[in-house]
Amino acid sequence: MDSIIVTGGGPLNGQIPIAGAKNACLALMPATLLSEEPLTLTNAPRLSDIRTMTELLTSLGAEVAGLQGGQVLALSSHALTNHTAEYDIVRKMRASILVLGPMLARDGQAVVSLPGGCAIGARPVDLHLRALEAMGAELDLREGYVHARAPRGLRGAVVDFPLVSVGATENALMAATLARGTSVLRNAAREPEIVDLARCLRAMGAQIEGEGSSEITIEGVARLHGATHPVVTDRIELGTYMLAPAICGGEVECLGGRIELVGAFCEKLDAAGISVEETPAGLKVTRRNGRVRAVDVVTEPFPGFPTDLQAQMMALLATAEGTSTLEERIFENRFMHAPELARMGAQIEVQGGTARVHGVERLKGAPVMATDLRASVSLILAGLAAEGETLVRRVYHLDRGYERVEEKLGGVGARIERIHGD
């Protein structure tokens, strides 16, 4: 099992290219199941989760080819040969549930295992199922699988989500494109990944209005055609690498970054004493003089502060002047990185969904263990600011969401190395 060694000390300077969004690409890839014609995705990230989705789609009879080193994905679902998404693949990644809506909409049948993913608390799929039931799907849960049928096809419906859910919005949005009549998704997720999916579906011939707002209207069509679509910039990778110069000092330009992707995050950086400047190529991040200042953070659905940047922000605030409070409102059990940061000298008190971080002048390098995807990179960021050497174990989580992290950080002056295990 691979590990990463980080030696702290010294500012970072240079440019970091930001990849296409993992979470966007994982929703865009199943959209191929809606059409018999090819779908081409450009600016795709090269990650293990993308390979897992490729494996899943291939098992259903789709064809997926990676071109130009994997940054272009050519997908075709002209002849689906299987409608069962097996547990052995689905358990690796929660986004696997996103094949359910497209298969049901196109062929009227789907059998999908209940999904897996990071161990960051309960993330039930009941909102996905309720949306599909509203569209006329017949559902049966047995032996760990969702058995779904729509023998007469799906029909348009008004879906009122009781909670904002990105995945459920994506599944319902894709299913509604081929449903008979008009569908309205209320309390829909507003994330950039939803907007990106809607744009791709529209390029395939879907009739969609309102993406980016809390109400999306879809007029079902008889069929969708092929398209070429660029994957939106990964706002979580963007925010993560913006924190590197914030925590270490220096000046780093994140290529492809845009303020509108990370607005609430940038507000907190500004309050902490970090300068973010738009450039023709992206976003330039500079730490102002002295230690960063403590700030309070509450995670919320977009356009609020992203839950997927909470762990990384905690690493920064561990070295801030003063006491910060981080309140996690999206996922339970998402402070598992706190004890590992404490091994490096961070002073953190966790009570339920709230963490109080008392900033220290300097963290100390230590052996630590990654518990999930975002925790992995938070420990690497902490290692960049720590005195001495930090060994981060179990970084297989990291490879699900960050491509070439050693190369990208090493390119701006970080001392970071991967140690390959068995």
Q: Number of H helices and number of E strands within the chain?
A: 13, 24
**Chain center to CA of 159:** 24
- The strand ranges marked E within 241-353 are 250-255, 274-278, 282-287, 297-298, 323-327, 347-351
Report the DSSP pairing between strands 250-255 and 12-17. parallel
- Annotated binding residue at 4? no
- Is 234 assigned to a binding site? no
In terms of DSSP bridges, do strands 39-42 and 109-113 run parallel, antiparallel, or are they unpaired?
Answer: unpaired
The gap from C-alpha 9 to its chain's centroid, in whole angstroms, comes to: 29
Give first-to-last CA distance, the chain, whole Å.
5
CB–CB of 19/282 below 8 Å?
no
Region label for 229, one of left (φ > 0), alpha (ψ between -120 and 50) or beta (otherwise): beta
Cβ neighbour number for residue 50 with a 10 Å cutoff:
24
Is 127 part of any known ligand binding site? Answer: yes
CA distances from 282 to 2, 255, 259 (A): 32, 4, 9
Angstrom distance (rounded) from CA 120 to CA 23: 16
- Tell me whether residue 43 is annotated as binding: no
- Torsion on CA atoms 5, 10, 14, 15, rounded to nearest 10: 40
Q: Do you know the residue count of the chain?
A: 422
The reply, when asked if residue 126 is annotated as ligand binding, is yes
Tokens of 291: 């230690």
| Active site residue ranges | 118
Sequence-ordered list of residues with C-beta below 8 angstroms from that of 322, at least 6 positions apart, any chain: 293, 294, 359
Maximum alpha-carbon separation in the chain: 65
330 marked as binding residue: yes
Binding-site residues from annotation: 22-23, 94, 123-127, 308, 330
Binding site members for phosphoenolpyruvate: 22-23
- Which residues belong to the annotated binding site for UDP-N-acetyl-alpha-D-glucosamine? 94, 123-127, 308, 330
